[in-house]
Amino acid sequence: MGETEAEHASLIDFYPYRDRYRSHRRLEPEPRDREEVLAELAEMAGEEDRIGERGRVSGSIYHGDHDHYRFLTRAFELFAHANVLQRDMYPSATKLEAEIVAMTASLLHAGPEVAGVITSGGTESLINPMLVYRERGRVERGITRPEVILPVTAHVALLKAAHLLGITPVRAPLRDDWLVDVDWVRDHVTPDTVALVGSAGNYPHGLVDPIEELSEIAQEHDLGLHVDGCLGGFILPWGERLGLPIPRFDFRVPGVTSISADTHKYGYALKGTSVLLYRDAGLRRYQYFNYPDWQGGIYLSPGLAGSRSGGLIAATWAAMVTLGERGYLEIADRIFRTAAAIADGVRAIPGLEVFGSPTFLVAFHSPEVDVFHVNDHLVACGWRLNALQRPPGLHFCVTRPNTAQGVAEAFLADLRAAVEYARSPARPEARSGALYGLGSMPGGGEVLETLLAAALDAMYEVAPTDARA
């Protein structure tokens, strides 16, 4: 097995360390030595980072510079143990959170009435607004069977939100340009619709939905309009400043009532924070949970989380103020240029088609070959793209590590070879995307659900065979 194949194997093997380190099935009777523990962790981290550091990973590692991470970790360290709930002890949390919200609001052209919260990530920043629109519909309109209309490309966390909150998701198809079919959305507004969703940009294809058109519908029917800017919220504004044709998606669009933007993606903070903004504080109120009669005291909580670490807030704030406009702009410029080079290169490869007009994320599919065979070859060359379905495709979400000299060129050369490989692949069934194929077999959906659940179970298991146990 070559080095890249070994790395690929380590990506898909849940337990690569089973024979290397002791597995802990119970607390050690005696404390382990700190240095030994740190050395073990450093070894795992170092090896795992190598995969991302070659600049061959789509998304996931947005900044990638270890100096930056070391600095953020120092900021984290100062408040790691602090619980931001305890504002009497840690008033810094109020300053830092409010400033993160304010800086994000100004980037997204919010007015003075905007009200925000910090959440643990994109998923929580999508669950909360769905709760808000459900509650607003219930309180202001007596809606008991709420519906939310969202593009089929909207992030699946919104479906999770609908599942958790008892909302019916109404999934709108796409037009020929791969953006949500606004006419379809208009035709499917009912008296039970509480909100619409658009993405800026969406996860599968990185494209920005026609937010201005969705805004008109939202205003006409007095609906909420959430813009999922989890992925694009911290990069698209810089594209506009750089003169790229970025469609309007932020608070300048009058019908937009909330936007999520993840600091832990293109905000270049540590994993675990996102910003959620509402057009006004009245909307945010629907997110609050208060319980004055509890034996443990009067309870009030702004969101899903209880205790939260002040470390993440401090690190996020530190990332934002040390990058500043210039820092964000410089990185964004490199990312947009790299993505443009990749998009042009993909368009020039016979057999591939790019989805829509990309800006920072390039997604493509093939009317001629199985893109999962293409992916197999790319994986063997050490690339880690994201696989799409309906239709099958791949995406490359360009981040700072991908902007290094020569990465785009190397990718395009490997992609060209990958398409050739896919024209006469070594095996009939592609290794990548096999689950998707299974999912489309008769009865495959059920099998797939069982397999996916088993995979999640497996992620919580201590390595099953353990030479040292």
- Which residues here bind ligand PLP, judged by CB under 6 A? 121-123, 126, 155, 157, 199, 202-203, 228, 230-231, 262
CB proximity list for 440: less than 8 A, separation 6 or greater: none
User: Which CA distances in Å does 115 have to 49, 87, 99, 231, 273?
Assistant: 37, 19, 12, 20, 17
Indicate the residue among 186 and 271 with the shorter CB distance to ligand PLP. 271
Indicate the residue among 60 and 168 with the shorter CB distance to ligand PLP. 60
- CB of residue 397 vs ligand PLP: minimum separation in angstroms? 8
Q: Which residue is nearest to ligand PLP (CB)?
A: 122
Indicate the residue among 82 and 259 with the shorter CB distance to ligand PLP. 259
Indicate the residue among 269 and 419 with the shorter CB distance to ligand PLP. 269
- CB of residue 121 vs ligand PLP: minimum separation in angstroms? 3
Q: Tokens at residue 225, please?
A: 């309009």
Q: Classify residue 240 as exposed, middle or buried by CB count within 10 Å of its CB (0-12, 13-18, 19+).
A: middle
- CB of residue 250 vs ligand PLP: minimum separation in angstroms? 15
- CB of residue 341 vs ligand PLP: minimum separation in angstroms? 22
CB proximity list for 290: less than 8 A, separation 6 or greater: 298, 299, 300, 301
- CB of residue 18 vs ligand PLP: minimum separation in angstroms? 28
- Phi and psi, residue 449, nearest 5°: -60, -40
Determine contact, residues 363/392, Cβ cutoff 8 Å.
Answer: no
Indicate the residue among 153 and 366 with the shorter CB distance to ligand PLP. 153
Indicate the residue among 55 and 122 with the shorter CB distance to ligand PLP. 122
- CB of residue 133 vs ligand PLP: minimum separation in angstroms? 17
- CB of residue 74 vs ligand PLP: minimum separation in angstroms? 24
Indicate the residue among 23 and 389 with the shorter CB distance to ligand PLP. 389
Indicate the residue among 122 and 255 with the shorter CB distance to ligand PLP. 122
* Alpha carbon distance 247, 177 (integer Å): 14
CB proximity list for 212: less than 8 A, separation 6 or greater: 247, 248, 253
- CB of residue 31 vs ligand PLP: minimum separation in angstroms? 34
- CB of residue 64 vs ligand PLP: minimum separation in angstroms? 17
Neighbours of 57 (CB within 10 A): 21
Indicate the residue among 275 and 408 with the shorter CB distance to ligand PLP. 275
Indicate the residue among 250 and 414 with the shorter CB distance to ligand PLP. 250
- CB of residue 107 vs ligand PLP: minimum separation in angstroms? 17
- CB of residue 292 vs ligand PLP: minimum separation in angstroms? 32
Indicate the residue among 202 and 375 with the shorter CB distance to ligand PLP. 202
- Phi and psi, residue 116, nearest 5°: -135, 170
